[in-house]
Amino acid sequence: MGCVGWLSKMRRRRLNTAVIVVICGFPVLMILYLATTEQDIASGNFLGFTRREAKLAERVREVEEQNQLLRRQLSLSQTHLLNIMSEAQQSDDNASESGNRHPTVNQKSILCLNQEPEVPKCEIIHIAIVCAGYNSSRSVVTLIKSILFYRKNPLHFHFISDSVAQLILQTLFNTWGVPGVEVSFYLADNLQNEVSWIPNKHYSGVYGLMKLVLPKALPDFLEKVIVLDTDVTFATDVAELWRIFHKFSSKQAIGLVENQSDWYLGKLWKNHRPWPALGRGFNTGVILLHLQLLRELGWMHTWRMTAEKELFSMLSTSLADQDIFNAVLKQHPYLIYRLPCQWNVQLSDNTLSELCYTEVQDLKVIHWNSPKKLKVKNKHVEFFRNLYLTFLEYDGNLLRRELIGCNNTKVTHVQEALNSIDEDDACYEFRRARVVQHRTHLYYIEYDYEPAAEGNDVTLIAQLSMDRLQMVEALCKHWEGPVSLALYMSDSEVQQFLSYTLTSEVLRKRKNVGYHIVYRDGPFYPVNLLRNVALQQVTTPFVFLTDIDFLPMYGLYEYLKKSVAAMGLESSKKALIVPAFETQRYRLTFPKSKAELLSMLDMGTLFTFRYHVWTRGHAPTNYGKWRTATTPYRVQWEPDFEPYIVVRRDIPEYDRRFVGFGWNKVSHVMELYAQGYEFIVLPNAFIVHMPHAPSFDIAKFRSSSQYRKCLKILKAEFVKDLSRRYGKQFTIEKKKLKR
């Protein structure tokens, strides 16, 4: 019985009642008040009527209040209703084109909005991304941040990648440690033969065709997956997109948004001849793939046959996989499910993206598929730009939030180590800093270098924060060899660094500098962690361990390579010492030779490093002997010795317990000594420390007695551990540190 018929029946029974009616899926509380009959009054029930009327009036007030709340809810739901109706109409269009119209299903979608299935909160959402090279590995992070920001479900990312992207992204996710996120990699080299035969003019090359092989590349147990380009940004929960799989018919296997340009209509320029497509065609920046159905339908054979047929006349693809997807859908239109255009708003030249939406808050996914990116013509480009920049500079550490109620959070070694630390320990923050996991993005900028074939190549190792960034350009003017730098920065600072590096005439030409970002987290500067990150990425057999505020003498790179070969470092435990000097002058005519340096020492323009505040750090170098030395000479290790050295890359890592200021290099040199390394001073090598403002960590060391006390405790513990590990006894002089 319909709502109107039911109400008529109530009137015939002359009932005073309040009822809840469901109209278009929304409960509406209504009052049906029917006056008492004349027989009631004649029979003396007038007083009873008055009481009933009073009770009913009270009920009316209550109902009116509830109706006001419901009206507000209805108002808020209008946009959602329109969206569902639009999707339902879209589904009708899909069914019509494929010959499988199901109007009753769509009517139920409109009339029973509350029956649309939700994605269970613990269901894993699978996302596939083709990502290769340094630049794509950098740009995909913004996409990942936008997904993590809105998501409420566990996620599993599947990356089709080259070895470069796999190293970068695997390290990033391992150090990010986001709960409820799994990552799998599939090496593109193993899949290239499937698509490399296709001539492709698109800038993405062979990787632009990899989406075609996803049903074969991804595990057989994986039934469905969301496929994304690296240059899209989410503005909603990815579960909303995953939910659309429920709307696929039994034959639909590919969900796509219609292309928002005239490319496939062939109207962009004279004699433009695109690949065949259904109408405007479809954009493959966002795809819903029903993998299981595609496998059953013989997808790999189907697209191959279509591609071979079209290539006879087209000769090559212009838009990579998108051309072939569209050609297949032209022949098999029943496969396509038309996604609402809000799921792939395409920002590029010659698009109709503004016709896709009425309000920007309705948008779901923004696709930056233009080389101009934020400079495209669109009335809402400022909104898009702000959304993109928000995620670009968003602190990724804030995305490490737990998923409530899914019981899928694994206790990591890092968490176990943190839980074992006594929070009442006065040095708790120091101990915590030793084990905290810092999000790390290796090779943030393209790196291209092959070590010298002679086997004596040397990489310069250094670490820095934003306030030392200007030193990188000066360093590269003095050192032409490979460099491995670890940079400690926030997400927003990284973008400043990127802009600085790409606009520097000196730095943008250098492809042999590896920039490794370690994201800020915690109160201390993790100096030894940074050194370890830079050290781990070295590809040359030898390393020069220095600091960013030192400038090498001109020609030091070639001199060190010759010294390495002459001293036989490849088969011996030797550490070659490069003597360190300093100046208090911000403007300095840099010495071009040892003779010039000695002259500047005599004039007081240069000094031996830290001669006035920390003599013990470099005194064993024996600067007096160095002045006249013409051949390398051996020196003895002494407590607190911290020279800058050249060694094999397979040395022990720096001890992470030392953070901030104090004993970070001393402890490392001490361990080399414990392993039996010899220390040999090079007679014709030098570096010069350039002046700069004191670091925040030095200020904390000088102002905090607790800082100094904890450092002393950590030193004692390190020496004890070292003695136990190597079976030697080491002592620390009780003399107070002078810094």
Least confident of 90-104, 191-205, 226-240: 90-104
Q: What is the pLDDT of residues 461-479, one digit of tens each?
A: 999 999 999 999 999 999 9
Mean pLDDT score, 193-209: 89
Cβ atoms 514, 447 nearer than 8 A: yes
- For residue 710, give every residue at least 6 positions away whose Cβ sits within 8 Å of its Cβ, in sequence order, or none: 426, 427, 430
C-alpha separations of 188 from 129, 155, 162, 165, 368 in Å: 12, 22, 5, 10, 24
Better pLDDT: 516 or 371: 516
* CA dihedral (697, 702, 703, 708) positive or negative: positive
Question: With bands split at pLDDT 50, 70 and 90, how would you rate the model's confidence at 184?
Answer: very high
pLDDT at position 47 is 39
Better pLDDT: 407 or 438: 438
* Distance separating alpha carbons of residues 580 and 577, to the nearest angstrom: 9
455-484 burial, b at 16+ Cβ within 10 Å, e below that, comes to ebbbbbbbbbbbebbebbeebbebbebbbb
Mean pLDDT score, 236-260: 95
Mean pLDDT score, 109-134: 78
Residue 386 above 90 pLDDT?
no
pLDDT at position 74 is 44
pLDDT at position 28 is 43
Better pLDDT: 18 or 291: 291
Question: Measuring CA to CA, which residue among 223, 224, 227, 225 is closest to residue 210?
Answer: 227
Better pLDDT: 53 or 322: 322
Mean pLDDT score, 162-190: 96
Least confident of 235-239, 351-355, 622-626: 351-355
Question: With bands split at pLDDT 50, 70 and 90, how would you rate the model's confidence at 360?
Answer: low
Question: Measuring CA to CA, which residue among 217, 231, 117, 109 is closest to residue 158?
Answer: 217
Residue 394 above 60 pLDDT?
yes
Question: Measuring CA to CA, which residue among 297, 210, 205 is closest to residue 254?
Answer: 297
Question: Measuring CA to CA, which residue among 497, 494, 645 is closest to residue 567?
Answer: 645
Question: With bands split at pLDDT 50, 70 and 90, how would you rate the model's confidence at 275?
Answer: confident
The H or E element containing residue 566 is helix 556-567
pLDDT at position 54 is 52
Q: What is the pLDDT of residues 451-464, one digit of tens each?
A: 999 999 999 999 99
Residue 117 above 90 pLDDT?
no
Q: What are phi and psi of 336, to 5 degrees?
A: -90, 135
Helix H, strand E, coil C: the string for 674-693 is HCCCEEEECCCCCEEECCCC
Residue 366 above 80 pLDDT?
yes
C-alpha separations of 645 from 457, 564, 664, 703 in Å: 15, 12, 14, 31
Share of the chain above pLDDT 70, in %: 78
Residue 729 above 90 pLDDT?
no
Mean pLDDT in the chain?
A: 83
Question: Measuring CA to CA, which residue among 315, 255, 318, 263 is closest to residue 284?
Answer: 255
30 strand-pairing partners: 19
Most confident option among 429-438, 526-535, 583-592: 526-535
Mean pLDDT score, 284-290: 97
* CA dihedral (241, 243, 249, 250) positive or negative: positive
Tokens 């819903």: give the residue.
288
